[in-house]
Structure 1
């Protein structure tokens, strides 16, 4: 009898645990799944909103782009890249109050990148060692080959600004597709990095427009302009 009576409390305890476990599973699994999705997404893809007209007509103000963050150190000429502001290219007004709190939460969840509002998006024109030259009259060349850039905004020349640079190791030279309305590498040659962007500041490569729906599409084909460019 003592064995039977001793076993009853244990059975009731097991029943209670069994009753609790399904509820925990119903609540816990979706939460864990959400955390896993956010974490995995932050390691692979982040989204950024285009804040200006500097990349028209490829990208327009308000477009949201998906950026792969795993290939930030494996860049190619023609890639559209997101990078952290290297030398105060931007003048940013920091949010306050509720907006700041919401932004901090989204950053903590890795939905927004660190320092949102301190990122730029441009096209890679020169890689380390490349000799990039613009004559100021509409001709742009890389390593002696004149580029035919189909992505440049219609009605704009390759560059109205003359320059002659060799990209140092560990850096890239970037330009916007809307050449007459893009404060890119050309306009920051007097900055600390000489207009070059440290590769270490590149967040990733923009692969697609994901919003708005009527502008869904991939960002491919930028490398076509550089097919004939030799290595430096």
Structure 2
């Protein structure tokens, strides 16, 4: 009986398809457990992160070392920063989700900000010197965008247990905890909504660089901790 010969082209396509499926599966596993890629859609974290940057985020960065003041965090803003419904509908949500997964677009639910207040902290802006204070002590903020005031909006808030007070480095361009004081949750983000910490800028290539975690010395408060 004459055997049917397998066509090399069809076999090659099957291997290619299998390889693609495996690559997507491995990538999904890595991104769900260890590392992810995010697109920066605004100027709110300048000068550290610029509009259009692609960053690698470590999902395990805070597993051994807790979040501290001065840390930059990527977080899920649902229930605090994000709108409850973007209004795009299922098709729009799918396309936006695909673009976000590929690192080509931002996400309505994902944000990048800096930790200013930890649970129990009393955050005030501003004191008589025009400085932001935490628990009565002035905060050193070398990361703030040159020329920006610590905040043009005055506030005094105590951070509840299990939540964080977050602000952008480009204060005049950032919608953050200050903007949501009257909203449910008072602009504070639950700790369990923190996704991870940015560790690397990967695009554009001329900005390829590691994003170091601030030293303890850089996150301390003047005249105290």
TM-score normalized with structure 1 length: 0.74
Deviation at 1:37, TM superposition (A): 3.4
1:88-126 deviations in Å (ceiling 9; x for gaps): 55597555687654445578xx657xx932211110011
Larger radius of gyration: 1
Q: TM-score, normalised by structure 2?
A: 0.76
Aligned residue pair count: 211
1:197 aligns with 2:189: yes
Contact 2:164/2:189 (<8 A) preserved? yes
Structure 2 counterpart of 1:46: 36
Q: Greater helix share, 1 or 2?
A: 1
1:188 deviates by: 1.0
Aligned to 1:176: 168
Measured in 2, the distance between the counterparts of 1:105 and 1:221 equals 29
- Most deviating of 32-41 and 213-222: 32-41
How much is the aligned-residue C-alpha RMSD, in angstroms? 3.4
1:131 and 2:147 are equivalent in the alignment: no
Aligned to 1:17: none
Corresponding residue of 2:113: 122
Contact 2:155–2:178 under 8 Å retained in 1:
yes
Looking at structure 2, the residues matched to 158 and 105 of structure 1 have their Cα atoms a distance apart, in angstroms, of 36
The CA deviation at 1:196 is 1.0
Is the deviation greater in 127-136 or in 180-189?
A: 127-136
Of the three residues 87, 98, 103, the one matched with 2:80 is 87
* Partner Cα separation in structure 1 for residue 61 and residue 97 of structure 2: 26
Among residues 47, 53, 65, which one is paired with 2:55 in the alignment? Answer: 65
Per the alignment, residue 155 of structure 1 pairs with 147
Unaligned runs of 5+ in 2: 1-10
Offset at residue 25 of structure 1 (A): 10
Contiguous gaps of at least 5 residues in structure 1: 1-21
Give the drift of 1:200.
Answer: 1.8
Higher alpha-carbon deviation: 147-156 or 29-38: 29-38
